[in-house]
Amino acid sequence: MKLTTTLFATAALAVSTGAAISGSHMANEMTIVSWGGAYSNSQQKAYSDPYAAMTGVKIINDESSAEAVAKLRAMEEAGNVTWDVVDVVASDAIRLCDEGLALEINADTQLAAAPDGTPASKDFGDLLVSDCFIPQIVYSTTFGYRTDMVGATPPTSVCDVFDTKKYPGKRALEKRPINNMEWALLCDGVPKDKVYEVLATPAGQEQALAKLDTIKKDVIWWSAGADTPQLLADGEIVMGSTYNGRLFSVIEEQKQPVAMLWDAQVFDLDGWIIPAGLTPERQARALDYVKFATDTQRLADQAKYISYGPARKSSAPLVGKHATLGIEMAPHMPTDPNNAKNTFLYNYEFWADYRDDIDAKFQAWLAK
């Protein structure tokens, strides 16, 4: 054990002196971690390519966001953080901040102000859900349904998911309690503003599971965002929940007979964090990138490639047409007034506390 400690210490020393000698102000290479697929693609087109062209920085893309929290924790324990900027959902950003694995950011001094001079903290508003989190997009988890399998009266309410008489066939739900428990309570007659109050009690959790139990035999549980679009395209399910951008791609890009059911969509945020403990050069580079990538124009640019809403208020008017399809993107944004008539906001505080407890019950119920 002592030998390895000495070895590690020597190696660390060698690395740090090496870094000190290289001495430039900002690192000229960075690793950006994101989710892969169409989403990473939109980020590369809107942020990374222009940034690389502007600064000449070499950008390495990694697609590990799904395991980002676990990997960052392992990297920190090994004393070797290899990532510079990481794209995570807000709940993961909160946990990374809690664990001391992410850098705290001062929005007003470290992020770009809006073109009209509004400071970043006002421009992002209450989307700055954690001190470490730099919001990027608003996305939603919502339902899509097969237009050719629902008869003459397409579903209009999230409660139609629980109505197997009116809409027979399988449904796809995510294999975790988050969102499903809320929808179940909502459709079991709990008023929207009481949902989390009820869900905090064991009786409320039982109630939600009992409601889900009524459709359990008709549910296919998904764990990857690509599952529901595929199941819809194959006609395996009549409706299913997934991220709104995935449904956009099924409907508009692949022209499948699928439509959106925006009712009771759950808003969630995705954004950047910068790992704690980077060398000063790498940290400066990461901050510089993030400042560029989250300015008003860049966030609006991303919406040309994917139907997720920009997190800045000042970006909304700049959202234009899809880069290749040429259709207006605004009506496809989850934040569009027509789509956002009945919405939830992911309750970060609640799920940070209840996640372990409710997940244990949810998984036990699933295995029954």
Partner 1 sequence: MTDATHTGPVLAADGRPLKKSLARALRMQKMRALMLIAPLLIFVLITFILPIADMLFRSVENQIVQKTLPETVKELASWDPMSGQAPGEPVYAALARDMKVAVKAKTHTRLGSRLNYELTGASSLFRKSGRAIKKWDLATDAPFKEKFLKIDKKWGDIGFWRMLQIYSPNLTNGYFLNAVDMQKGLDGPEARPENQQIYIKLFKRTLFMSLVITGSCILLGYPVAWILANLPMRTANMLMILVLLPFWTSLLVRTSAWKVMLQQQGVVNDVLVWLGIVGDSSRLVMINNQTGTIIAMTHILLPFMILPLYSVMQTIPPTYLRAAKSLGATNWTAFWRVYFPQSVPGIGAGSILVFILSIGYYITPEIVGGTSGTFISNRIAYHISSSLNWGLAAALGSILLGVVLILYWAYDHIVGIDNVKLGG
Out of 22, 201, 254, 363, point to the residue binding partner 1 (CB under 8 A).
363
210-249 footprint of partner 1 as x/- string (CB under 8 A): ----------xx-x----------xxx-------------
Q: Per CB under 8 A, does 148 bind partner 1? A: no
When the beta carbons of 328 and 353 are compared against partner 1, the nearer one is 353
Residues 10, 313: Cα–Cα separation, whole Å: 49
Interface with partner 1: number of residues (CB under 8 A):
35
Is the Cβ–Cβ distance between 186 and 342 less than 8 Å? Answer: no
Report the site for partner 1 in 50-89 (rule: CB under 8 A). Answer: 66-67, 69-70, 73
When the beta carbons of 238 and 300 are compared against partner 1, the nearer one is 238
Out of 29, 63, 99, 197, point to the residue binding partner 1 (CB under 8 A).
99
CB-count burial class (<10 Å; 0-12, 13-18, 19+) for 284: middle
Q: How far is the CB of 2 from partner 1 (least distance, A)?
A: 13
The dihedrals phi and psi of 347, each to the nearest 5 degrees, come to: -90, 95
Q: Per CB under 8 A, does 9 bind partner 1? A: no
**Other C-beta atoms within 10 Å of 349: how many?**
11
Amino acid making up residue 87: D
**Binding segment toward partner 1, per CB under 8 A, in 46-54, 92-100, 158-166, 250-258:** 92-100
Residues 307, 298: Cα–Cα separation, whole Å: 15
**Other C-beta atoms within 10 Å of 119: how many?**
14
Out of 15, 63, 100, 197, point to the residue binding partner 1 (CB under 8 A).
100
When the beta carbons of 102 and 186 are compared against partner 1, the nearer one is 102
Strand partners of residue 135: 271
Is the Cβ–Cβ distance between 115 and 296 less than 8 Å? Answer: yes
Report the site for partner 1 in 250-309 (rule: CB under 8 A). Answer: none
Q: How far is the CB of 92 from partner 1 (least distance, A)?
A: 9
Is the Cβ–Cβ distance between 77 and 331 less than 8 Å? Answer: no
